[in-house]
């Protein structure tokens, strides 16, 4: 446990707290002792003024009577009158430490004494002031400081007990809290080992307490979920690339082989070469689309952001595809609000809109009275909605999350042209611009040809 950061920090905090507590106790004790010392001196000076008055009025006889009377009172101060030779002739002291009466003024340090009536081995501590009388005698007035020393002893004893309790409490906290933290770290380490072994479905444990371990686990779990999705997407893309590109590559090889073995002359070889070039162009388009999606998802186009006239872009795309739609027997209608501008990448937005219209033309051509609507309008919350709506077969609700994945096509037979990358690019472009791609039925509740409403919800419309 001593090798863990948590325990070391706890020990550091305990040591710092104990140091501050000791310093605080000594500071308060010194202040208390100083205040008691000042109070003791005030009491002694006040008592000296009283006995000085008696001395002035009655001389040495009056001084002795006053001291004898005051020394018998409960809680009396310390009194002593000594001859020039040091013999005690009055007061309530039986003996005084040697040298105390030799110097006039305040005693520099506490001295030991015994009171009249005490046992010989019973000594006390006192502070006093010694005053010399005109006839060579000495007057001492002092006060017992045993109470002050008792207070100091009690404070020290309380400090020692408090430090002992804190130490025991710290050990208990280390044992319970530290062990709990270590167990959680061990669980996280075990989960990490499983993740490093390849099991990306593992997640770090979350206790639900909301502490720093939980916050770290939630962040790492979100990262692991993202990594798992990316790995799954990479696996799916690899599988789909192998599946979708195997057929055109095989067809390309077969045509090259047939052209080599054919006896149709130069015309047949020319036709085979043209078909091979067309297949190669389709493969190149597929790889270009994959590269563009990867770049968009990586955010490499964010540096090319500028103000884009989305209304003008939508009108240009509608006019560009109108002849294509007419040739397929489809009516293309544009409902575009004027003057809508957003911050974005014009080329990517144009490519995304072209993909939506191309998908609509492809799948709405077989519907009766085929119609495509390209609309652009402002929405609440500062959003704009760029939509392409058709009356084709639509996309089932349970497949809408799948169709935005790479190479996923509802046409399992691959009878219609395409690569299955169009909606993936649209989804990536919408995310790059801080928006989203929304797919819904154009005619909710319709049993046949409910159509598809593909909407790019983008922020920042002005």
Q: What is the pLDDT of residues 179-210, one digit of tens each?
A: 777 777 777 888 888 888 877 788 888 877 77
Tell me phi and psi for residue 387, to 5 degrees: -125, 145
Q: Which helix (H) or strand (E) holds 389?
A: strand 383-390
What confidence tier does 156 reach under pLDDT thresholds 50, 70, 90?
confident
Q: Comparing C-alpha atoms, which of 396, 420, 418 is closest to residue 408?
A: 420
The single-letter DSSP state of residue 355 is H
How high is the pLDDT of residue 233? 67
Residue 389 buriedness (CB in 10 A; 0-12 / 13-18 / 19+) = buried
172-180 mean pLDDT: 71
> What is the rounded CA–CA span in Å between residue 51 and residue 57?
10
Q: Report pLDDT for 411.
A: 59
**Which of 51-60, 184-193, 336-345 shows the lowest per-residue confidence on average (mean pLDDT)?**
184-193
User: Residue 50 and residue 54: Cα distance in Å, rounded?
Assistant: 7
Burial 182-217 (b: 16+ CB within 10 A, else e): eebeeebeebeeebeeeebebbbeeeeeeeebbeeb
Give 108's DSSP letter.
S
Residue that the structure tokens 């920042």 belong to: 460
Question: Which pLDDT does position 335 carry in this prediction?
Answer: 92
pTM: predicted TM-score of the whole model, two decimal places:
0.49
Residues 372-393 have a mean pLDDT of 88
**Nearest residue to 331 via CA among 388, 387, 369:** 369
Which one, of 357, 348, 422, 352, lies nearest residue 389 by Cα? Answer: 357
Contacts of 418 (CB under 8 A, 6+ apart): 359, 362, 409, 411
Q: How far apart are CA 423 and CA 414, in angstroms?
A: 16
- The span from the CA of 201 to the CA of 221, in Å, is 10
Strands 331-336 and 371-378: parallel
Quick one: pLDDT band at residue 375, thresholds 50, 70, 90? Answer: very high
Identify whether the C-beta of residue 424 lies closer than 8 Å to the C-beta of residue 293.
yes
CB 258 within 8 A of CB 276: no
Q: How confident is the model at residue 386 (pLDDT cuts 50, 70, 90)?
A: very high
Token output for 205: 């444990």
Q: Is the pLDDT of residue 418 over 70?
A: no
Least confident of 183-187, 224-228, 327-331, 437-441: 183-187
DSSP 90: E
In whole angstroms, give the CA distance from residue 217 to residue 40. 64
- The average pLDDT across 213-226 equals 84
Q: Considering only CA atoms, give the Rg of the chain.
A: 50
> What pLDDT is stored for residue 7 in this prediction?
64
């Amino acid at each position: 446990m001593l090798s863990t950061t948590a325990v070391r920090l706890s020990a550091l905090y305990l040591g710092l707290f104990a140091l501050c507590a000791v310093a605080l106790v000594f500071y308060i004790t010194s202040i208390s002792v100083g205040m008691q010392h000042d109070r003791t001196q005030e009491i002694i000076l006040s008592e000296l003024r009283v006995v000085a008055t008696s001395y002035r009025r009655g001389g040495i006889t009056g001084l002795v009577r006053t001291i004898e009377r005051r020394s018998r009172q409960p809680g009396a101060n310390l009194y002593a009158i000594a001859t020039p030779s040091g013999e005690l002739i009055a007061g309530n002291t039986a003996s005084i430490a040697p040298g105390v009466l030799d110097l006039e003024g305040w005693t520099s340090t506490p001295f030991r004494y015994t009171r009249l009536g005490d046992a010989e081995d019973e000594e006390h501590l006192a502070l006093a002031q010694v005053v010399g009388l005109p006839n060579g005698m000495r007057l001492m007035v002092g006060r017992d400081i045993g109470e002050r020393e008792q207070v100091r002893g009690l404070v020290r004893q309380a400090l020692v007990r408090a430090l002992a309790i804190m130490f025991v409490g710290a050990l208990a906290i280390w044992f319970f809290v530290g062990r709990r933290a270590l167990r959680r770290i061990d669980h996280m380490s075990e989960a990490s080992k499983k993740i490093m072994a390849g099991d990306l479905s593992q997640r770090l444990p979350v206790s639900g307490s909301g502490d720093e371990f939980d916050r770290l686990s939630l962040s790492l779990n979100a990262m692991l979920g993202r990594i798992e999705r990316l790995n799954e997407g990479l696996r799916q893309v690899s599988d789909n690339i192998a599946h979708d590109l195997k057929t055109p590559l095989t067809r390309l090889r077969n045509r090259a082989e047939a052209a080599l073995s054919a006896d149709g002359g130069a015309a047949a070889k020319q036709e085979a070469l043209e078909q091979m070039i067309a297949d190669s162009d389709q493969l190149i388009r597929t790889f270009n689309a994959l590269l563009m999606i990867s770049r968009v998802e990586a955010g490499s186009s964010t540096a090319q952001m500028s103000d884009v006239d989305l209304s003008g872009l939508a009108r240009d795309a509608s006019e560009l595809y109108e002849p294509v739609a007419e040739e397929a027997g489809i009516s293309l209608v544009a409902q575009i609000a004027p003057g809508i501008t957003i911050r974005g990448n014009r080329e990517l937005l144009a490519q995304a809109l072209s993909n939506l219209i191309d998908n609509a033309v492809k799948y709405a051509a077989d519907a009766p009275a085929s119609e495509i609507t390209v609309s652009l309008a402002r929405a609440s919350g500062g959003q704009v909605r760029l939509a392409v709506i058709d009356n084709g077969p639509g996309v089932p609700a349970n497949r809408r999350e799948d169709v935005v994945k790479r190479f996923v096509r509802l046409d399992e037979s691959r009878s219609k042209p395409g690569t299955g990358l169009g909606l993936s690019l649209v989804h990536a472009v919408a995310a790059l611009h801080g928006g989203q791609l929304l797919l819904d039925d154009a005619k909710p509740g319709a049993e046949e040809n409910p159509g598809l409403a593909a909407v790019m919800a983008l922020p920042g419309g002005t």
